[in-house]
Amino acid sequence: MSSLLALVDDVAVIAKVAASSVDDIASMTAEAGTKAAGIVIDDAAVTPTYVQGFKADRELPIIWKITKGSFFNKLVILLPVALLMNAFAPWLVTPLLMIGGAYLCFEGAEKIVHALAPHADAQIAADFEVGDPVHLEETRVKGAIKTDFILSAEIMTISLAAIPTATFWLEAATLAVVGSAITIVVYGSVALIVKMDDLGLWMARTGRTSIVRGFGRGLVRAMPRFLKVISAVGTAAMLWVGGSIILHGLEVTHLWAAPYEAIHHVAQSVAANVGAGWQGFVSWSVTAVADGVIGFGIGLVLIPIVTRVFGLFGKA
């Protein structure tokens, strides 16, 4: 009997440890996911462009192919690399974050410049030259998975940096949950977005009441505007996250702490002049705007540099 009670007690202890680990994974996942929110928004804004020009029955299969590629990027390639880097070269995390932040600044600034001064998109032109729809689909999917790899690398690095010091397996589980959850949220949202106009068209054609048909027509008209809003929010998020990562990295590495400290001081000063219930929001807003402006400036500086570098590689 005593042996049985001891076994039950051991099982109870194991269950408590397991429950505690699940709680730790959940809390760390929430924190890491919040840090990567800016890139998640941009990922969701960019992906719908890869199914433009295809028949409606090919949209979901294409998104599913990209989703599988995203899972492979995060869980098979980037997860082991992130864990090995954190175990044997943790000093690399901040520099890699800053490189990723610079990339986000470049992408965000390039989108704004493109919007203000539109120019021909070489990729779109190349797509129109492809006569075979199957080949075009394969090309689009490969391009989307490559873009996802870059964004996923930044997401996993940000998530790793946001996770408090923990055991190897706890870090691995948290990163796996973060990567899987973000992939499901992003591409699930993309699937809903790209099919929303089809739903609106179906409602407009088959609705039994004028209200339903009118709602369907409104949905069809609203989707292009909605995609533009998402794209704008994604661009702003890229600049905010990119600028924040670089400034925080400069402060952490003691290379140049003045900009980070100055923004923090201004945000606290502005927040002190509002009500207690709004201070946190105002402080965050001022910091986000300042980070975004600085991120845009960094991106503008990087545009000619990156363009020339890629131009040289293209010629080579």
8 A C-beta contact, residue 4 and residue 146? no
Q: Which of 39, 14, 256, 52 is nearest to 154 (CA)?
A: 39
Q: How far is C-alpha 12 from the chain's CA centre?
A: 39
Each residue of 21-55: pLDDT tens digit?
444 445 444 544 455 555 666 666 666 766 766 77
DSSP 274: S
8 A C-beta contact, residue 95 and residue 225? no
Rounded to 5°, the CA angle 150-153-154 comes to 90
Give the tokens for residue 245: 């990562």
Q: Cα–Cα distance between 246 and 156 in angstroms, integer?
A: 17
Instruction: Please state the pTM of the whole predicted model.
Output: 0.73
- Angle between the 122-129 and 133-162 helix axes, to the nearest 10 degrees? 150
More confident residue, 136 or 311: 136
Instruction: Give the max Cα distance, the chain.
Output: 81
**Exposure letters 99-138 (e unless 16+ CB within 10 A, then b):** ebbbbbbbbbbbbbeeeeeeeeeeeeeeeeeeeeeeebbe
pLDDT at 259: 92
Extents of the domains making up the chain: 2-224
- Radius of gyration (C-alpha) of the chain in whole angstroms: 23
Q: Cα–Cα distance between 197 and 176 in angstroms, integer?
A: 33
Q: Could you tell me which residues come within 8 angstroms of residue 21 by beta carbon, excluding any fewer than 6 positions away?
A: 170, 173
Q: Cα–Cα distance between 241 and 294 in angstroms, integer?
A: 11
Cα 140 to Cα 57, 127, 262: the distances in Å are 16, 9, 44
pLDDT at 263: 93
Cα 25 to Cα 73, 119, 132, 179: the distances in Å are 21, 46, 46, 13
Least confident segment among 24-28, 204-208, 283-287: 24-28
Each residue of 74-131: pLDDT tens digit?
999 999 998 888 888 888 888 888 888 898 899 889 989 988 876 544 444 455 444 5
Q: Compute the average pLDDT of residues 257-284.
A: 88
Q: Cα–Cα distance between 127 and 197 in angstroms, integer?
A: 23
pLDDT surpasses 80 at 313: no
Q: Compute the average pLDDT of residues 199-226.
A: 86
State what percent of residues in the chain have pLDDT above 90. Answer: 16
